[in-house]
Amino acid sequence: MDAAPLPALDPGAYTPAIGTNARTEQVDAVGFAVVLDGDGNGRVVGTLKNTENQPHALTGAAIKSDDTPVRTALLADVIRLPPRTSVALTDAPPISVPAANLSVGGFVELTLDVTDAQLVHMLVPVEAQKGPYADVDVPTRA
């Protein structure tokens, strides 16, 4: 039996992934980055998926870079993670980040605190609010 030929790839249809992925036993973190607006404000973006049959919630986040000590990111509210459900952070209460000393093109260590779960640690890119991130609403820190 002959195998069917593979379809030709359209190089214009390929979009490389942006962001960082991490997995724990309880949650998958996909496509994470920090988006800067150019005015000293940043926002964490990505998607969290609860991989268990019990609810979890994102209750805290912290960032660290080579130039800055650990800083707590400000969650506008707890982000609920229903069982076996994905939550895009662009559709959830924002996680704002002070952007001082952060540079587009650099990386920061991001730690997410999820209830009844392991901490999620990852190295995430710092991106400008343009291109694929042009429509990201970056809140102004008070």
**In whole angstroms, what is the distance from residue 37 CA to residue 45 CA?**
13
pLDDT score at 4: 61
pLDDT score at 14: 46
DSSP-derived secondary structure for the chain: -PPPPPPPP-GGG-----SEEEE-SSEEEEEEEEEE-SSSEEEEEEEEEE-SSS-EEEEEEEEEETTEEEEEEEESS-EEE-TT-EEEGGGSS-EEEE-TT--TT-EEEEEEEETTS--EEEEEEEEESSGGGTT---PPP-
CA separation, residue 70 to residues 59, 67, 137 (Å)? 17, 10, 24
pLDDT string in tens for the chain (142-residue length): 566 665 555 555 444 568 999 999 999 999 999 999 989 899 999 999 999 999 999 999 999 887 767 777 888 899 999 999 999 999 999 999 888 788 999 999 999 999 999 999 999 999 999 999 999 999 986 5
Strand partners, 126: 34
Q: Phi/psi class of residue 53: alpha, beta or left (left: φ > 0; alpha: ψ in -120 to 50)? A: alpha
pTM for this model (two decimals): 0.84
pLDDT score at 55: 97
Short-list 133, 109, 127, 130, CA closest to 119: 109
The fold for domain 26-133 equals: Immunoglobulin-like (2.60.40)
**In whole angstroms, what is the distance from residue 92 CA to residue 20 CA?**
19
| pLDDT, tens digit (0-9, with 9 covering 90-100), for 78-102 | 999 999 999 999 999 999 988 878 8
pLDDT score at 43: 95
Are the beta carbons of 45 and 32 closer than 8 angstroms?
Answer: yes
